[in-house]
Amino acid sequence: MSFSAIAAVLTIIFVAALVRSAFGFGDALVGMPLLALVVPIRAATPLMALVGPTIAVLMLARSWRRVDFRSTAVLIVSTLAGIPFGLYALKSVREGLIDIVLAGVIILFALYSLFRPEVRRLKSARSAPAFGFAAGVLGAATNSNGPPVVFYGALRGWPPESFRATLQGYFILTGPAILIGQAAAGFLTARVWRAYLYSLPLIAIAVWAGHGLGRRLPAARFYRWIYGLLLAAGLGLVLKTLLASPGLKGG
């Protein structure tokens, strides 16, 4: 990898880590499309899979006391329960259809929340199993388990610090499973490990800077940014599906 390519990769990872540490998620949303312009997708995917848990560990080292442990536990258990159903859907449903449905839900929720900011809040954790189950289904079927968990946190109206910390508590236990699968498939090559090790100092700086940025955002503005990121994720998923699944367009 040339010096310019390494510099581009490190810059992208820094920006992705900054977004994740400020808002609790969004590193893959920012990092994956940009990394794919610089390195092969088989290098970009495992690299972001290494970066994500690293950010979560650094964030939790500072804010683990803010984690809603009850909700995290319920979300993780119900996510595991939903995985078999997602695998079944992956085998049974037409390719691309699940992505379109997921994108539609994300876009509608984000638009509603942006233009109707007084979203009705969930007052208890009783609905957490439903959101966790949906995350398991979507994670197994589309590798997108994040949106239902983000929805749940937004609807509970957690303070931004708790929102970020609880998401990390959830993702830090699901990320290693992805890494194990990618290692077994041979994607964690020496080049990926080298880029990851080079990025560690920048990740640490980005987490520190993102923490300060997130703390300066009032709660209302913080959630508008969250909904904006979700809207971008939904639109990106539609674009990816249309480009990757010509059969979906042709019937």
Cα-based distances in Å from 250 to 108, 141, 236, 239: 25, 22, 20, 16
Verify that 13 and 134 share a domain, yes or no: no
In a domain, 167, yes or no: no
8-62 per-position pLDDT tens digit:
999 999 998 998 898 888 887 788 778 878 888 778 878 888 998 899 999 999 8
Q: How many domains would you assign to the chain?
A: 2
Q: Residue 147: CB partners within 8 Å, gap ≥ 6?
A: 102, 105, 106, 135, 138, 230, 233
Domain that holds residue 205: 1-66+173-217
Verify that 82 and 145 share a domain, yes or no: yes
Verify that 106 and 14 share a domain, yes or no: no
In a domain, 50, yes or no: yes
136-179 per-position pLDDT tens digit:
887 776 666 778 888 888 888 888 888 889 889 888 887 777 77
Verify that 97 and 110 share a domain, yes or no: yes
Q: pTM for this one?
A: 0.74
Cα-based distances in Å from 162 to 23, 55, 62, 63, 113: 11, 16, 12, 8, 20
In a domain, 164, yes or no: no
In a domain, 163, yes or no: no
Verify that 107 and 146 share a domain, yes or no: yes
Longest dimension (CA), the chain: 53
